[in-house]
Amino acid sequence: MAGGVTEEEDITVRALITGVNGFVGKYLVKELQKNGYSVSGIGMGPFDLPGVHYKEVNIMERIELEQAMEELNPDMVFHLAGIASVSHSWRDPRASFEVNVIGTINLLESLKGRVVRSIVYIGSSEIYGPGRRLGEEFCETTSPNPQNPYATSKYAAERIALQLGQVYKLPVILTRPFNHIGVGQNEGFVVPDFARQIIEASKRDESIRVGRLDVYRDFTDVRDIVRAYRLLAEKGQAGETYNICSGVGRKISDILDFMRTEYGNLNVELDETKIRPVENIYSVGNNDKIRTAIDWEPLYSIEDSLRGVLAEWEKRLE
């Protein structure tokens, strides 16, 4: 093998994660390492997890990306890199399209002609748009109806990933994860935003300021999400699309009520600035396909996940 790779090293599956230094990337590193993979990653900025061959690479720079693929020579690729914020996409729709769509094109082109076992594209349930009625789950055959620039960019990216995968003979697997939660998630997402405010409000006798609480979401612990990514890379079918979700719709007001029960009767106020221009009222997935295909189901309870996030913010704000 080129580069002096030993026979022993060569039988270890080499997994590459784009956007490895993000919230989900760090969990995926641990999931892959725990299962015997050799892990490399690319991203922007510093990265500090041990045992990862990390390269700072901008996916918008094709030459950098091609050089990284040549050096890292991955067997499996998990494409997490991108702009993942709906609110950011309203402020800067161009950036969401450039990074999410052009970045994906650059990645597939950098892998053209290489032998890889699987490429797991990380999409988003946001592409489904608003539920037509309460209680109706989204399944993979539901017609996409994206309602914000982020969702539209993710739908465009998954379509081009599938098309280039077919043309370049690359085994692209599409995923549509629903809301995921866990320790280390940045603010700008509902659960860490609630957690920070609850801890602060309990200390200062302040109100919690929230957006709409009458919407339903499907939450899955990030540790279950990354296990699904690994299993799909191992057992998923190229060209197929898989929802990753709990299949349980939870009202945001119920999430908030559970999180604040241990902190007294905290006052809640509506904050107009937290309301999106277009809001999906009911976004819940059907996970029958992934359960059948790879024998996956969520293992972590929503209550344990929420307690973990609250404990994290208690430490942060000590």
Q: Helix, strand, or coil here: 304?
A: helix
CA 72 to chain centre: 23
Q: Domain 190-216+249-283+303-316 maps to which CATH number in 3.90.25.10, 3.40.50.1820, 3.90.550.10, 3.10.580.10?
A: 3.90.25.10
Mean pLDDT over the full length of the chain? 93
pLDDT band, residue 10 (cuts 50/70/90): low
Q: State the CATH class of domain 7-181+219-246+286-299.
A: alpha beta
Residue type, 163: Q
Q: Helix, strand, or coil here: 198?
A: helix
Enter the DSSP assignment of 273: G
Q: Where in the chain is the domain with CATH 3.40.50.720?
A: 7-181+219-246+286-299
Residue 2's pLDDT is 36
pLDDT at 113 exceeding the cut of 50: yes
pLDDT at 3 exceeding the cut of 70: no
| pLDDT more than 70, % of the chain | 97
pLDDT at 222 exceeding the cut of 60: yes
* Tens digit of each residue's pLDDT (9 = 90 or more) over 205-219: 888 999 889 999 999
pLDDT band, residue 273 (cuts 50/70/90): confident
Residue 274's pLDDT is 79
State the DSSP H helix or E strand holding residue 120, giving kind and residue range, or none if neither: strand 118-122
Residue 234's pLDDT is 98
* Tens digit of each residue's pLDDT (9 = 90 or more) over 236-246: 999 999 999 99
* Tens digit of each residue's pLDDT (9 = 90 or more) over 131-161: 878 888 999 999 999 999 999 999 999 999 9
pLDDT band, residue 1 (cuts 50/70/90): very low
Residue 87's pLDDT is 84
Half-sphere exposure of 11 (CA within 13 A, CB side): 2
Average pLDDT over every residue of 30-57: 96
- Give the integer Cα–Cα distance in Å for 268 and 94: 35
Angle, to 10 degrees, between the axis of helix 103-111 and the axis of helix 62-72? 40
Q: How many CB atoms are located within 10 Å of the residue 98 CB?
A: 14
CA 129 to chain centre: 17
pLDDT band, residue 8 (cuts 50/70/90): very low
pLDDT band, residue 125 (cuts 50/70/90): very high
- Give the integer Cα–Cα distance in Å for 129 and 127: 5
Q: Where in the chain is the domain with CATH 3.90.25.10?
A: 190-216+249-283+303-316
pLDDT at 65 exceeding the cut of 90: yes
If one compares 118 and 87, the residue with the highest pLDDT of the two is 118
Average pLDDT over every residue of 16-39: 97
Residue type, 173: I
Instruction: Note whether 83 and 22 are within 8 A (CB).
Output: no
Q: Nearest-CA neighbor of 211 among 264, 279, 126?
A: 279
- Give the integer Cα–Cα distance in Å for 197 and 206: 9
Residue 132's pLDDT is 73
Instruction: Note whether 144 and 155 are within 8 A (CB).
Output: yes
pLDDT at 278 exceeding the cut of 80: no
Average pLDDT over every residue of 38-57: 96
Instruction: Give the contacts of 282 (CB within 8 A, at least 6 positions apart).
Output: 130, 131, 133, 134, 135, 136, 215, 216, 249
pLDDT band, residue 270 (cuts 50/70/90): confident
- Give the integer Cα–Cα distance in Å for 240 and 225: 17
Instruction: Give the contacts of 118 (CB within 8 A, at least 6 positions apart).
Output: 76, 77, 171, 173, 232, 233, 234, 236, 238
Angle, to 10 degrees, between the axis of helix 252-260 and the axis of helix 302-316? 60
